[in-house]
Chains A and B, each alone.
Chain A
Amino acid sequence: TETGVLGGTAAAFDEKSFIVGYQPFYTESWSALVIRHAGLAEKHLPEEYSVGSWEVALQGAVIGNKMISTQNDIGYTGDMPSITALANEETKIDLVAMAGFSKGQQCNLCFVPSGSSVSEPADLDGREVGVTTGSCTHRFILEVMDQEGIQPDLSDQGMATISTNVREGNIPVGVGWEPAVARSVIQQDAAEYAFTGASYDLYDAAGLLMLDSLVEDHPEAAKGWLKAELEAKHIMATDPERTMDLITQEGQLRGYDRETLRATLYENLDVGSGAQRLLFYTDYEAIDTANRLFKERAPEFLYENQGVIPRLPPEERYRVDLLREAIEELRAEADWNPLREAER
């Protein structure tokens, strides 16, 4: 799977050998794991193209930045880092598809130590809340603060640090994304879900990003990757057992029980007012809520509220044209439907 000791360096200088940035520790982007371990890229990419290396990142921002410096060609990132990447003025990066989508069930999760007295959003007022700024959890907590009129004390930490600190009771509240939260709740029985974005009608998503130069200069390869993405979604939506077999092949996740991993994909939360855990959609323009998330809510948050991006992402950075072509081609080639119901 990995290529050589210096594989990444060599691939960085080879246009037809892609470096893919992915996040094993972000359930919403796991279609990448399915592509990787089912060999879907090899299946769908034109012959002369290959995956030079799969680069693990623990945060979407790292992938976004590597794409900006053209060290990664393809990236799987949360909604916030996706927008940061789209808005940058250095390197053209396109949002070519959506890797995962949910009504606040993946990245808008508030959790507390087991047996904590904190259960309502109002209880957060004045308390220390661990959050990774710049991620989808950050937007979530700010929306909650806004709607509830509360003032928690935000402490910016990495996701792993937040879940350790919640589990050890060092901080009373954390907001986070899967699968780290499920590990604390299910596997270690040390924390519980308090509430999710669903209560506030908030959505979270993961984006599939490509360098615009890749899309422009190698459209067949880009289309091939999108086909792989669609097939991965098909597997995830229709064959949970095979999906779990593939996901658990990812060495990074060896600290996670299969059950914990399955829960993050397929088990709905008690506190999520019945929202489905993960929606296996790919065409964000076909889903109104997803479209608005990527084109309005997230960009406005980063641009107006946080002032951390220099401009709103230009319209032409959103391009699902190749995705649509890939869907059409797959409809002809495959005996399964590349789109979920709501996308049709």
Chain B
Amino acid sequence: METRRRLVRAASILAVPVLWLAVTRLGIVAGLPTPMAVASSFLEEFYRQDFWLSVARSTVRVLVSFVVAAAVAIPLGLLVGRYTVFADLTFPALEMLRPIPPIAWIPFTILVLPASELSIMFITFLGAFFPILLNTIQGARGVEVEFSRAAQSLGAGSFQTFRHVIYPSALPAIHAGMIVGMGLAWVNLIAGEMVAGGTGLGFLTWSAYTSGSYPTIIVGIITIGVLGAISSALVRLFANWQIGWREVESA
């Protein structure tokens, strides 16, 4: 039974390349590169410095932007979540900016920021920033009042209450925001690289389209997917490590 299930699941994954092969063999989708062409293009890219530089650039951009987004959004979210006056003074302005898709900022950032690297990072940062911010706010607001009361009655001051109660209690929500934020960081990074050009996997993929190296487009997509999956897994791992106390609950 267990092994049967595992087989079915493996077959499900295997069906993807098989279907792909069939589709290209039968010529159902004109212009779709074959799995073999993509594989050989993968090998080719593997030996190109440019490819690895793109991988490195995109990865560094995502990681740096994500860390900065978390470092800004979490404290800000906790403050907005806990202090009504602060929230009233800051949040409406942020709410005006939030519905603008980060990628729409690209012309602005290219004009205003001093280096194109920073432009793309800013777009990526914005992608991660709002989900983390909103979830943190929600987490901070959701802290049950009895927890802070308990801490106060045990002698905690407001900073201590923040550190020992509000923050840990909001952590699950913060992590949920980080997971969404990591996904959106990649979305916006790729868009930014495609639009603003230069380097990175988004650019590699788009310039493969421009230059007509169609199998390379799919190499780009796969590489982006793998890196995206790895970074999400890292965020999850970090989250689980940070809130060991919650695992016990479900166990």
Contacts and interface: CB of A to CB of B under 8 A. Distances in A.
A254 interface: yes
Contacts of B27: none
A59 B119 CA distance: 17
A332 interface: no
A81 interface: no
B111 interface: yes
Contacts of B199: 2, 8, 55-56
A55 B211 CA distance: 16
A6 B111 contact: no
Nearest to B114: A12
B125 interface: no
B130 interface: no
B56 A65 contact: no
Given A2-B53, A71-B110, A8 B211 contact: no
A9 interface: yes
B118 interface: yes
Given A56-B198, A62-B197, A159 B210 contact: yes
B116 interface: yes
Interface residues of A, number: 36
Contacts of A70: 114
B2 to A, nearest CB: 44
A307 interface: no
Contacts of A251: 48, 50
Interface residues of B, number: 34
Contacts of B210: 25, 58, 158-160, 180
Interface in A285-304: none
B197 A58 contact: yes
B107 interface: yes
A68 interface: yes
A57 B116 CA distance: 12
Greatest chain A CB density within 10 A among B107, B197, B216 is at B197
A252 interface: yes
B111 A8 contact: no
A160 B208 CA distance: 10
Contacts of B206: 58, 160
B114 A8 contact: no
Given A2-B50, A160-B209, A254-B213, A8 B116 contact: yes
Contacts of B211: 25, 252-256
Contacts of B213: 254-255
Choose among A25, A72, A255 the residue with the greatest number of B CB atoms under 10 Å from its CB: A255
A11 B53 CA distance: 17
Contacts of B209: 160, 164
B57 interface: yes
B18 interface: no
Nearest to B207: A252
A150 B42 CA distance: 47
A13 B113 CA distance: 12
Q: Which 10 A-B pairs have the closest CB atoms?
A: A255-B213, A12-B115, A255-B211, A160-B210, A9-B117, A255-B212, A9-B115, A251-B50, A71-B116, A5-B56
Interface of B: 30-31, 48-50, 53, 56-57, 60, 107, 110-119, 196-199, 203, 206-213, 216
